[in-house]
Amino acid sequence: MAWKTPENAKYTETDEWIIVTGNTAKIGLTDYAQNQLSDIVFVDLSEMEVGGAVSKGEAFTTVESVKAASDVNAPASGEIVAVNDALDGKPDLINEDPFGRGWIVEIKLSSPSDVNGLMDAAAYAKYCEGRGG
């Protein structure tokens, strides 16, 4: 199956995406991840607040689906500048539009080089194919 993998995003092996614009970046779950999780019923926004911090490689929230709960890890470190509060009432935005309205958090990058080691769209698509998606 072909997963949506926008060219302007970078990807992690734990299925998060990051799109950098200037010194800020939005983070969310990939199309592959939302498909594997199935219907997302809850996103824990309680631990994320503007002014808080996320650290590269560490979980900053949890999403729950009808299948399982899954940590969402930060692909880069930074200060939270926005949280997608729309997910509080409509967590399935991640299923419907993972790279658009389904973003989870926006950060001000503390180290823009954090994204250098992440996969590009082609590498991530190949990575997903290798897992039998």
Calculate the alpha carbon distances from 5 to 1, 48, 69, 108 in Å: 12, 26, 23, 23
Taking all residues of the chain, what is their mean pLDDT, rounded to a whole number? 95
- Residue ranges covered by each domain of the chain: 10-111
Output the pTM of the full model.
Answer: 0.96
* H/E stretch holding 71: strand 69-73
What confidence tier does 28 reach under pLDDT thresholds 50, 70, 90? very high
What is the reported pLDDT for 133?
54
Above 80 in pLDDT, residue 2? no
What is the reported pLDDT for 47?
86
- In angstroms, the CA 110 to CA 115 distance is 11
How confident is the model over 62-83, as pLDDT tens digits? 999 999 999 999 999 999 999 9
Calculate the alpha carbon distances from 51 to 8, 20, 42, 111 in Å: 26, 18, 23, 16
- In angstroms, the CA 105 to CA 55 distance is 13
10-111 has which CATH code?
2.40.50.100
Over pLDDT 70: what percentage of the chain?
98
Above 80 in pLDDT, residue 119? yes
Map tokens 């200060």 to a residue.
79
CA atoms within 13 A on the CB side of 13: 3
Q: Bridge partners of 25?
A: 20, 107
What is the reported pLDDT for 1?
62
> What φ, ψ does residue 128 adopt, rounded to 5°?
-65, -40
